[in-house]
Structure 1
Amino acid sequence: MNIKRIAIIGTGSMGGAILSGLLKSGFNPDNVSVSTKSTDSAERLTDEVGVLSFAMENGDDANQMAVAGANVVLICVKPAYVTEVLADIADSLDDNALVISVAAGVTTSAMEKVLPEDVGVVRAMPNTPSIVGRGLTGISAGSRATDWAVETAVQLFETVGKTLVLDESKIDALSTISGSGPAYVFYLIEQLTSAAKHQGFNDEEAALLVNETFLGAAELLVSSKKTPEALRKQVTSPNGTTERAIARMTETDLQKMFIEATDAALARAKELAAGK
């Protein structure tokens, strides 16, 4: 991996997932430094995984200390705090360091404005399945990012799943599909579980039926190499029960609903980028 030393600013669910994936890939914890809010969290990370940890509770310079000597810095704080954190660490960054942000709505140009001119910026949009190593991360290069910077970001996020390198103009649209997508799937699971209960199954039975059906269908899709349409038709016998159910779903125009839903998510992403 092209990373000599990495600093992770913010070790919540996503920062923690990436840290876990990085270490599982064989990266030496001695070459990782992190910053957290609490002393307890910092001590736990040091004791459990062996990384160098700094807590904001112990001093306002925790982020600055964490990035010292790192050639790659991963920003995993909430979008509202990204530029503030970058301004805080700007003078502590190594020459030609790479900064990668996972914050939604914060553009590479906005980040570049508060960082030294020799610092490259990459914007990444991972999703929550990264926590279990099945993530999909969109990666976009800033104007100063080199091929090395993009390759390094790809290597980093491949420790928690798959990656897709794309122009930044598409990153917000990607967030409406793979970023928000797990929530759409969970919502569908919720609704089908309610339908199972309506058909007389108890909570435990309904959860087993629906959860295993979604898991099995997803694994079948991956292993079969067939399209979702082909697999759907394979299950849908002429004049059968599935065909009747699909016909009812078609009447509700689910395609239009999903397009409108993702359009709404994209509009909100643009509002966030504009600071609204």
Structure 2
Amino acid sequence: MKTKIAFLGCGSMGEAILAGMLAAGTSPQSVAVTVRRPERAHELATSYGVTALAHNEETEANIQAVTGAGVVILGVKPAGIADLCREIAQDLAAESVVVSVAAAVSLAQLEGALKAGQAVIRSMPNTPLKVGRGVVALSTGSSVDEHQLAAAHAVFAGSGVVLDVPEEQQNAVSAISGSGPAYAFYLAEAMAAAATDLGLAPEIAHILARETVAGAGLMLAEPGAVAAELRRAVTSPNGTTEQALASFDRDGLPAIISAGAQAAAARAAAITEELGHK
């Protein structure tokens, strides 16, 4: 990607996106990053060869970063997104596309804090981007054209799968893929606890649960893999796995997972509402 790209804020998620993008072939010379602390700026500049500016040393770091940028990634916390948009609004090029990775910040809130007609994209990435196995859902504002959307896809493509969804589905995406890694980790915790209940030493229980969940995830990541088919392949008639799955069904595990996802989606909607009143 030859377009200049600006990352305003670069925490762990932003760094994962940055690393994947550079690994996919983007030149470090085309990237500008802003952070608060000089130490963090030095770390990013040294690790990735990008231009990194610290607010504590340069008050107009964000303005410098977005000047001439074709893609601007907003990586600050949701509560700070509107103020950041207002800060950079007058210095964005008309053809720039602004991409927010902040959860629950709506397209309307982004567009309302920028100049009329500025292209904006709302994204929902998840933490497996850090290992190149993430998934990112993008929703476009009313002014985004196909070239701007393609540029946004290119930013994330090095770190995982990129999907386009209507904004009204973003809360569902958040509930499944955004929060989903925590569900998998929770499952691994529960499996380890079950193993200790069966008499295994805690350290062995931890290894068994961790490697089983991680290995199953790799199998599911194979091209063409389908979860139901993989499950059936492990489930012999009248075998041990079948008994475990039958117990899960009797206890309503699918309904429990569904209820959790509904609760996560409802909370995402509430956060959007709360941010709209600030």
Matched, 1:5 2:11: no
Is the 2:71–2:152 Cα contact (8 Å) retained in structure 1? no
Q: What residue identity is the alignment partner of 1:61?
A: E
Corresponding residue number in structure 1 for 2:146 = 147
Residue 191 (structure 1) aligned with residue 190 (structure 2): yes
State the Cα deviation string for residues 44-81 of structure 1 (Å, max 9, x = none). 22223221111111133221121111111000111110
Query: Separation in 2 of the partners of 1:111 and 1:26?
Result: 29
In the alignment, the residues of structure 2 paired with residue 59 and residue 40 of structure 1 have an alpha-carbon distance, to the nearest angstrom, of 13
Q: Is the 8 A contact 2:21 2:154 kept in 1?
A: no
Counterpart residue number, 1:67: 66
User: In structure 1, what is the Cα distance between the partners aligned to 2:33 and 2:155?
Assistant: 16
Greater than 4 Å deviation, 4+ residue runs: none
Give the corresponding residue for 1:57. 56
Q: Letter of the aligned partner of 1:243 in structure 2?
A: E
Secondary structure in 2 matching 1:144 = coil
Assess if the C-alpha contact under 8 Å between 1:46 and 1:52 holds in 2: yes
| Structure 1: distance between partners of 2:228 and 2:5 | 43
Deviations 1:106-156 (A, max 9, x none): 111111112122420011110000011100000110011111121111121
- Cα separation, partners in 2 of 1:224 and 1:15, compared to 1, 3 Å: closer
* TM-score of the two chains, using structure 2 as the length reference: 0.94
Gaps spanning 5+ residues in structure 2: where? Answer: none
RMSD of aligned alpha carbons: 1.5
- The residue number in structure 1 matching 2:221 is 222
Return the TM-score normalized by structure 1. Answer: 0.95
More displaced 10-residue stretch of structure 1: 247-256 or 196-205: 196-205
Secondary structure of 2:85 counterpart: helix
2:130: which partner in 1?
131
Partner of 1:38: 37
Which structure 1 residue ranges, 5 or more long, are not aligned? none
Are 1:101 and 1:122, in contact at CA under 8 Å, matched by a contact in 2? Answer: yes
Q: Is the 8 A contact 1:139 1:165 kept in 2?
A: yes
Question: Which residue number corresponds to residue 203 of structure 2?
Answer: 204
- Partner deviation per Cα, 1:197-235 (whole Å, 9 max, x = no partner): 112222321122112211222223333735322322222
| Inter-CA distance 249–112: structure 2 relative to 1 (3 Å threshold) | same
Q: Give the % identical residues.
A: 39
Q: Deviations over 1:8-42 (max 9, x none)?
A: 01110111111111111121111111100101111
Q: Report the residue type matching 2:25 in the other structure.
A: G
Count residues in correspondence: 275
Residues of 2 paired with 1:209 and 1:119: CA distance? 50
Structure 2 Cα separation of the partners of residues 232 and 107 of structure 1:
37
CA distance in 1, matches of 2:227, 2:207: 23
Q: Which residue of 1 aligns with 2:24?
A: 25
Determine if contact 1:96/1:118 at 8 Å carries over to the other structure.
Answer: no
Question: Which stretch shows the higher mean deviation, 198-207 or 86-95?
Answer: 198-207
